[in-house]
Amino acid sequence: METFTISDIEQRTGFSQDTIRYYERIGLLPEIRRKANGRREYSQADLDCFTFVAFLKRANMPLKEIERYIMFYNAQNYKGCITVLQDHKIMIEEQIADMLTALDMMKYKIANYQELMGHDPSQTGPANEGGHLLEDN
């Protein structure tokens, strides 16, 4: 059976060793096995769990929700797991919609400013006191 050190987990997940220890302390993982010299020894299942936690963190799931998901998972409460994941999926979809709206607005503004500059390429336009152009001419 392949085992991993805390450095391996750090490299594979991007979590610092302090974060890994903290996540262990708060119970995101069951108690980690230790070698005779006291060093942590992680299994593939431990690595898989940390990898999934890293994925959830990158998806901006709050730590409390990750803890809730892990609690449901450890209790084999798969309905609870689905609920946590579905709730976060909805939040991600809302964020994506918001970001697409923002992206469309930026594309519109860029195209508008390029069109305005096309009339007079030397025109850079005045900036307001804060240095930002908020309104189209």
Q: What is the pTM of this model?
A: 0.73
Cα 44 to chain centroid distance, Å, stands at 22
9-68 residue pLDDT tens: 999 999 999 999 999 999 888 788 898 898 999 999 999 999 999 999 999 999 999 999
Whole-number mean pLDDT of the chain?
88
129 pLDDT higher than 60 = no
Residue that has been written with the tokens 């697409």 in this structure: 100
Which amino acid type is present at position 81? C
Contact 41, 33 (CB under 8 A): yes
Helix (H, G, I), strand (E, B) or coil at 123: coil
